[in-house]
Structure 1
């Protein structure tokens, strides 16, 4: 690994104590005190802690752009890193399903994705963290899941339940049944029968989840809940040791998560849009209430930066940027990053002060993205 040493001068730098026009020096991949290398004038730029994306599935289009058309997932991971870096993300959680939906959310595809992450991330500057999104009603998967997670190198699991329970309870066909069946390689009749069987076994799920979560926690796996709707939903997950609540759908669920000590993760596209596209709680409103610890990209990698800059107009840059840097670092237990202080990793995003656009990104002291105008400053 090539080690860079620079003294960044002239920029507005977001330090732990706040935004200041102060020099920032780094060498050997760490922020250090005092001048160490060649000075680079960054007048006109903002230097901020790199974005830590706690949940993103935008990588799916790189790994499977068309059904059956691409088979080299490692190339997709490399392309994903390029997109992450271009959006100022220095640590990215890649969220892959294991779901009854099958196809790109089935077990074989998940194994391929995790193998590609494992095989490529050591050669990339950006830190890539695999996350398994697991559908709760897949009871036949429970017995071997802990061993497969260890094999895949996955230490982060979030539980989902996307079964259309209301429709199934009423004996009606879900509206997306045919499309889901085709993606899974099943007939609509076979897919409906599977959903009905999973729904019918619902009473077995809570006790099975209790036992599974206990095994995962003992194995050192971090677990989280997803789309909690009520305080009771969140209480059940808190009792199982789920320390992270992703995308609570209501203010009530978000307040319950904060009360039980869980970290609340909201979607940055929700902030950028000005509300949820599904009619759930407004992320911007929950942030204003103090009910958010981290903003995640969800399905759109440019959104964490855009959301933080938008929120900065109301709450200040320091507090807003913490939602995409130090906040997610704390939830993931990454004490070596999330702020620009001596001894921390050189995970930095450099923004054009006038536009807020990403001009450059360094991860672990290595450039992962460098725009033309900024490149001229470093190469002059």
Structure 2
């Protein structure tokens, strides 16, 4: 058999962990053998974990590469290639790059439109084979903005938009119920004076009152036009979740309370929390701790959010917490894949896409020792 055989491995299958060998041929997994450790021509994994490639639904990491410092706009192609390589190095083989749509042109230049240009550049790099892993788009639809309608109209089904999230950052509710925390975040990020911050808050509240209902309707309709999954963001109250369900939301990003997460479970909406929240032991915004939801069986999917390496670390931590490695790995592989309709990946199964990673645990941490995308080793 031509291709790659990973033998003497600890295989994390969808529902169990077994010792055995995994064979890749072309872009598919072609066999899974249990128990055998000696296979001619195989790579000896020395007991390392072999997992499906990690799937990241929500990451701000691309923005960090494009703007490594406030007011610095790094060359986009170089930033995208570096972002792609970083994700590959930590075992992420499919990513949904988050891009904001909806700007406030007069707001000190802090919120300019950028998504269409950036998406076109990303799609071009993909078309010429410059990227190692699989990239899709996650459009973050800012309800408190002036240009959401025109920006979303620039995208279509051909743009690989698979998630649209409804982002309502009106101060005083959801993620920023505590205005003091919102002040610290915004002034720290954009170096606003107190007067500028107060004007910014007033502007956002005014935009929500003027455009909010229209923007919600447009975002929902455009998600359908793209063929994208609809996500909510920072649901806090049961009413928020019930509204999300009425909109057809399938994914709740970072619900801020246990009540909201419980309502999501009742209404069939997948709950996603951030890996940094889990690893740090709590939310930096003072919202519900991911571990609390995990212990209450209310956590379905984990996102790296703003630290790509956190995705693998969080899954391993959950495995220890639950005493079930297969269940934990599903939160960063199969569960996100299924939620966004990518049924060809996210599991070690014969016929599945050969996105695979090899991981060794060292002092509790995961060290990525090999990454294959569509059967080709890329890291």
Same fold (TM over 0.5): yes
Alignment of 1:88-99 (within 5 A): 88-98=91-101, 99=103
Question: Are residues 104 and 295 of structure 1, via their aligned partners in 2, closer, same or farther at CA, if it must alter by over 3 Å?
Answer: farther
Please say if 1:263 is aligned against 2:239: no
Distance, in Å, in 1 between the alignment partners of 2:203 and 2:334 is: 43
Distance, in Å, in 2 between the alignment partners of 1:241 and 1:272 is: 31
Question: Are residues 152 and 194 of structure 1, via their aligned partners in 2, closer, same or farther at CA, if it must alter by over 3 Å?
Answer: farther
Deviations 1:53-72 (A, max 9, x none): 11111222222224565542
Give the Å deviation of 1:357: 1.1
Which residue number corresponds to residue 199 of structure 1?
205
Q: Determine if contact 2:65/2:74 at 8 Å carries over to the other structure.
A: no
Which residue number corresponds to residue 317 of structure 1?
325
Distance, in Å, in 2 between the alignment partners of 1:200 and 1:143 is: 17
Select the residue among 308, 327, 346 that pairs with 2:354.
346
Which residue number corresponds to residue 327 of structure 1?
335
Which residue number corresponds to residue 38 of structure 1?
41
Give the Å deviation of 1:135: 1.6
Select the residue among 52, 56, 63 that pairs with 2:59.
56
Gaps of 5+ in 2: 34-38
Q: Determine if contact 2:235/2:254 at 8 Å carries over to the other structure.
A: yes
2:155 aligned counterpart, secondary structure = helix
Please say if 1:118 is aligned against 2:123: yes
Distance, in Å, in 2 between the alignment partners of 1:68 and 1:181 is: 9
Give the Å deviation of 1:201: 4.6
Q: Determine if contact 2:55/2:337 at 8 Å carries over to the other structure.
A: yes
Which residue number corresponds to residue 373 of structure 1?
none
Which residue number corresponds to residue 376 of structure 1?
none
Alignment of 1:35-184 (within 5 A): 38-67=41-70, 69-98=72-101, 99-100=103-104, 103=109, 105-108=111-114, 110-122=115-127, 123=129, 124-138=131-145, 140-150=146-156, 153-165=160-172
Deviates most, 154-163 or 312-321 = 154-163
Please say if 1:365 is aligned against 2:371: no
1:92 aligned counterpart, secondary structure = strand
Please say if 1:8 is aligned against 2:6: yes
Give the Å deviation of 1:137: 1.9
Distance, in Å, in 2 between the alignment partners of 1:176 and 1:317 is: 35
Gaps of 5+ in 1: 370-380
Distance, in Å, in 2 between the alignment partners of 1:145 and 1:62 is: 23
Give the Å deviation of 1:340: 0.7
Select the residue among 22, 26, 29 that pairs with 2:27.
29
Distance, in Å, in 2 between the alignment partners of 1:104 and 1:202 is: 18
1:43 aligned counterpart, secondary structure = coil
Which residue number corresponds to residue 215 of structure 1?
221
Give the Å deviation of 1:244: 1.0
Distance, in Å, in 1 between the alignment partners of 2:44 and 2:9 is: 7
Give the Å deviation of 1:120: 1.4
Deviates most, 359-368 or 198-207 = 198-207
Deviations 1:309-352 (A, max 9, x none): 11111321111111111111111111000101111011111011
Distance, in Å, in 1 between the alignment partners of 2:254 and 2:214 is: 24
Q: Determine if contact 1:271/1:283 at 8 Å carries over to the other structure.
A: yes
Give the Å deviation of 1:84: 0.4
Q: Determine if contact 1:29/1:365 at 8 Å carries over to the other structure.
A: yes
Distance, in Å, in 2 between the alignment partners of 1:180 and 1:131 is: 22
The two structures, once aligned, show a CA RMSD in angstroms of 3.0
Give the Å deviation of 1:149: 2.4
Give the Å deviation of 1:103: 4.7
Alignment of 1:225-264 (within 5 A): 225-264=232-271
Give the Å deviation of 1:177: 6.6
